[in-house]
Amino acid sequence: MKRTFTGLVVLVFLSGCQDATSEVAESPEPTMTVMELMVTVMAPATDTLWGIDDPQTDADWQVFVDAANVVILAGETIKAGGTGPNDNKWASDAAWDAFADTLIGAAIDAREAANNKDIEAMYTAGEVLYPPCEECHIQFNPGVQ
Ligand code: HEC
């Protein structure tokens, strides 16, 4: 009886571990709509990146590193869908992922540029960052500006 019980505990423990590892590989469950994420996270962070104006100090540049990280995270988050009525349908389209990946790539370049304090590279990354916004809006929600 005791042995069976111990076996059961080990089994439960092991399956618990398995759950924990598989959760790391999966995307987290969405907790907000794509619209909320766009308005409260994506737009302010990209406004910061596009508004770059003669940064001087480490702290000035850090603002752009931080904003780029927010855009990267927002891009990864929308790939997992959202809680809005159409979000998961949109996110299951290959084109959605492709737009998000272009955006994430540009934001990674922007972060590198900010880390290198390279203003020209910041402008270039900023230009690459814009088309996926517009193209994704046109394809999935033409009413959006
Ligand atoms: C992968 C697709 C996708 C990408 C990339 C994307 N968006 Fe969006 N965005 C959407 C969708 C879809 C909506 C509308 C959501 C809805 O109607 O529920 C939206 C809505 C918005 C809104 C709200 C507009 C309104 O009418 O109130 C803003 C602002 C916005 N996006 C900014 C951006 C910016 C800035 C970027 C690029 C840096 C960007 N988005 C990139 C899909 C995307």
Span from the CA of 38 to the centroid of ligand 1 (angstroms): 5
Mean pLDDT by 10 residues, the chain (145 residues): 49 48 63 96 98 95 98 97 95 97 98 98 97 96 68
SS percent in the chain: helix, strand, coil, step 5 = 75, 0, 25
CB 81 within 8 A of CB 87: yes
Residue 66: CB atoms within 10 A of its CB come to 13
Ligand 1 pocket check: which of 38, 40, 102 to mutate, most ligand atoms within 8 Å of Cβ?
Answer: 38
Span from the CA of 137 to the centroid of ligand 1 (angstroms): 6
Is the overall model pTM greater than 0.75, yes or no? yes
Contacts of 49 (CB under 8 A, 6+ apart): 64, 67, 68, 71, 107, 110, 122, 125, 126, 129
Report pLDDT for 141. Answer: 85
Instruction: Supply 107's token pair.
Output: 């934001």
Report pLDDT for 14. Answer: 47
Contacts of 54 (CB under 8 A, 6+ apart): 119
Instruction: Supply 97's token pair.
Output: 């992922």
Tell me which residue has its CA closest to atom 17 in ligand 1: 35
Residue 65: CB atoms within 10 A of its CB come to 15
Report pLDDT for 25. Answer: 56
From residue 88, how far is each of 75, 99, 138, 145 by CA, in Å?
14, 15, 18, 21
